[in-house]
Amino acid sequence: MAVKIDTVVDLYVPSKIQRSLLLLFSLAWMADAAGVMMMTFTLGGISAEWHLSTFQSSTIASLTFVGMLLGAIGAGFILDLVGRKFAMNLFLAFTILFTFIDGFSPSPFFFGIFRFLSGIGYGGLMPSVNAYLSESTAIKIRGRYLVLLESSWAVGSILIGLYAVTSGSGWRSVYYSILVASLIFIPFLRIKESPRYVFLKRGKKGLEELLGIHLKEEIETIEKSVVPVKALLGKRYFKSTLLVWSSWFVISFIYYGLFTWLPKIFSTTGIAQINALWFTFFIFLAQLPGYLSAAYFIEKIGRKPSLIIFFAGTAISSLIFSSVTNTYTFIIAGLVTSFFCMGVWGLIYAYTPELFPTSFRGSANGSAGMMARIAGIIAPYFVAAFFGTNVLHALIWFSILAFLMAILAAFLGKETKLENIE
């Protein structure tokens, strides 16, 4: 009797290796987060040095996401055609190299160019790592591991935020700091290809060579798709695709719309600039418990109900955030919004690869990332448009979108807890 490739991973990929992959990929995720979220803590300094308008500042912020959009699109094709390992190394190189070079930018034009190129790395690295880890972990821990991977985003954001508000060395030093992180990624060069991808491309013999063992079991073939886009939009996967694309778009729109401008949002309420940076940092801290709670609930109650709850929590907290006036309640509302928002991120990152088969999982992850990047491009302009009136009104729209997503998840979501992935 043939067994599924999930069973092979469960039996023959040691737990120690799975833990090592989680640790190494989490470090890469931290570097990605630090690179993306540098903009939150440096945009004020950049705008001041080059005397940029709000529109110009929004354009620079959006260029990151234009690059991430291209990276996400490219990742889908590279992951499925060339492999997970090559894609990870390529996009990690873009992430580190161009973030570092950005610190030397002599003008807004060059900063934007290098920011765009580093964005290609940010946008491509995440779906690459996500696809690899989902294919290399045991079914009983896969959801938790993927959320824990995503939780390292909060750690990277917190660390870069702490450095930015305490270093006193100016915005350029924040970009130079990525070079230190590059030294810990040497082990990436030794990573082997994903076992599921090897089986898809080279069959049982290739899988045996990868694992260094002889497999007595016959393995069920993996569904192949010649045209990934057609498969994503086909009848069998359309509901899942619609849910995933809309979820990624909405949560990215909320997250980057809020966090790109958070220091300035605080400043518009009368809070001093240095305090605004510190308050932003504290709100970043709430991301970590949001992720960790999602890691608990995703295996405790399942993917679908967890996603509904955290989207609803994002909707309610965003609405409260938009209406409070007292400084302390304002910060508390921001903390709660950050908690639920990042819980959604963790859940959707774990949920997405479980909804699609190996043959176009990379394309599914990449297309989901593409939707997130489109939202990231739009979000800074959307929030900036409210600075002339009341910026907190943007949060009302965030609340409406999150509430609609909770409803959509209830109707389109399907439970994948403890299920084999193809």
pLDDT tens readout for residues 67-90: 988 888 888 788 878 888 889 889
CATH number at residue 395: 1.20.1250.20
Name the band, by pLDDT with cuts 50, 70 and 90, for residue 250.
very high
pLDDT on residue 340 = 93
422 assigned to some structural domain: no
418 assigned to some structural domain: no
Structure tokens at 276: 């605004």
- Average pLDDT over the chain reads 83
Name the band, by pLDDT with cuts 50, 70 and 90, for residue 130.
confident
* Residue scoring higher pLDDT (270 or 82): 82
pLDDT on residue 17 = 87
Structural domains in the chain (count): 1
Give residue 258's domain range.
5-412
pLDDT on residue 205 = 87
What are 219's strand-pairing partners?
3
421 assigned to some structural domain: no
277 assigned to some structural domain: yes
Average pLDDT (26-30) is 88
Q: Which of 124, 155, 134, 187 is nearest to 33 (CA)?
A: 155
CB atoms within 10 A of CB 106: 7
396 assigned to some structural domain: yes
pLDDT on residue 306 = 92
In sequence order, which ranges of 217-353 are alpha helices (DSSP H)? 228-233, 238-260, 262-268, 273-285, 287-300, 303-321, 327-351
> Is pLDDT of 181 > 80?
no
Taking every pair of Cα atoms in the chain, the longest distance, rounded to a whole number of angstroms, is: 69
Name the band, by pLDDT with cuts 50, 70 and 90, for residue 91.
very high
Q: What is the pLDDT of residues 273-299, one digit of tens each?
A: 666 777 777 777 777 888 888 888 888
Q: What is the pLDDT of residues 336-358, one digit of tens each?
A: 888 998 889 888 888 887 887 76
In sequence order, which ranges of 82-194 are alpha helices (DSSP H)? 84-102, 108-134, 142-167, 171-176, 178-182
420 assigned to some structural domain: no
Q: What is the pLDDT of residues 207-248, one digit of tens each?
A: 888 888 888 878 877 666 555 667 777 778 888 889 989 999
Q: Which of 289, 250, 35, 295 is nearest to 163 (CA)?
A: 35
417 assigned to some structural domain: no
| Whole-number Å distance between alpha carbons of 324 and 339 | 18
| Whole-number Å distance between alpha carbons of 146 and 388 | 40
* Residue scoring higher pLDDT (253 or 210): 253
Average pLDDT (22-27) is 89
> Is pLDDT of 327 > 80?
no
pLDDT on residue 316 = 93
b or e along 164-190 (b: 16 or more beta carbons within 10 Å of the residue's beta carbon)?
A: bbeeeeebbebbebbeebbeebeebee
| Whole-number Å distance between alpha carbons of 242 and 282 | 34
150 assigned to some structural domain: yes
Name the band, by pLDDT with cuts 50, 70 and 90, for residue 311.
very high
